[in-house]
C-alpha cells in the first residue's frame, strides 16, 4: 500500500520527510462502538496506553512519529483516504502529542466547534482496522508528496 510504504521509507526529522510529516501511527485496535461514532461523523483516536474505559469507542494506536500538531491546510491520511484539514481546535496539538488523542469530526466546519476538534469535510469517514496507518502531512509538502507518489 502506498501509505505504509511512504511512512516506512521516510525517516522522521531528516530531509524532505521531516519537512512533510507531522504524525504517523499504526492502528492496533478498534473499539466496538467506533462504527456508531462513525455514523455520527466522529472518529476518536487514543494512544494504546489510554485507560480501559476509553477503549470501546476509540481507535487505539501506536505512534511511530509524533513531531508536531496539525494545522488547517494539512492532509489527514487514514489508510488510503486523504482528507483536507479544515480547522483545528485549541487543545488538539496538546491532546495528540501527549496522549495520542484526536477527535476527528467530519462536520465541514472551518472553525472548530469544540477545542478538541479536528475538522474535515462532511464525508463518510473510512472504517479502520488494526495495521492501518494514519498520518498527518503538512499542507504544501503533502501536495508535493502526493504528486511524487503518482509520478
94 belongs to the binding site for other proteins (CB under 8 A): yes
99 belongs to the binding site for other proteins (CB under 8 A): yes
Question: Nine-digit cell at 122?
Answer: 462532511
Q: Which is nearer to other proteins, 16 or 114 (CB)?
A: 114
Q: Which is nearer to other proteins, 2 or 98 (CB)?
A: 98
The DSSP annotation for 65-92 comes to EE-----TT-EEEETTEEEE--EE-TTH
Q: Which stretch binds other proteins (CB under 8 A): 8-16, 18-26, 49-57, 65-73?
A: 49-57
Q: Which residues pair with 46 in a beta bridge?
A: 60
Q: Which is nearer to other proteins, 94 or 149 (CB)?
A: 94
132 belongs to the binding site for other proteins (CB under 8 A): no
Look at the block and give the residue holding cell 502531512: 137
Minimum distance of other proteins from residue 90's CB (angstroms): 8
40 belongs to the binding site for other proteins (CB under 8 A): yes
Nearest by Cα to 25 from 142, 135, 139:
135
51 belongs to the binding site for other proteins (CB under 8 A): yes
* Three-point CA angle 43, 28, 89, nearest 5°: 30
Nearest by Cα to 96 from 136, 141, 132, 127:
136
Q: What are phi and psi of 23, to 5 degrees?
A: -160, 135
Residues that bind other proteins (CB under 8 A): 36-37, 40, 42, 44, 46, 49-54, 57-58, 89, 91-92, 94-95, 98-99, 101, 103, 105, 113-117
Amino acid at each position: 500500500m502506498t501509505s505504509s510504504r511512504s511512512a516506512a521509507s521516510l525517516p522522521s526529522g531528516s530531509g524532505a520527510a521531516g519537512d512533510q510529516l507531522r504524525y504517523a501511527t499504526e492502528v492496533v485496535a478498534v473499539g466496538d462502538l467506533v462504527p456508531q461514532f462513525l455514523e455520527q461523523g466522529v472518529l476518536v483516536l487514543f494512544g494504546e496506553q489510554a485507560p480501559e474505559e476509553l477503549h470501546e469507542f476509540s481507535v487505539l494506536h501506536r505512534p511511530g512519529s509524533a513531531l508536531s500538531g496539525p494545522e488547517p491546510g494539512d492532509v489527514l491520511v487514514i489508510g488510503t483516504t486523504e482528507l483536507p484539514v479544515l480547522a483545528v481546535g485549541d487543545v488538539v496539538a496538546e491532546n495528540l502529542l501527549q496522549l495520542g488523542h484526536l477527535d476527528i469530526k467530519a462536520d465541514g466546519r472551518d472553525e472548530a466547534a469544540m477545542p478538541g476538534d479536528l475538522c474535515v469535510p462532511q464525508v463518510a469517514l473510512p472504517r479502520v482496522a488494526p495495521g492501518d496507518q494514519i498520518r498527518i502531512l503538512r499542507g504544501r509538502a503533502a501536495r508535493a508528496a502526493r504528486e511524487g507518489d503518482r509520478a
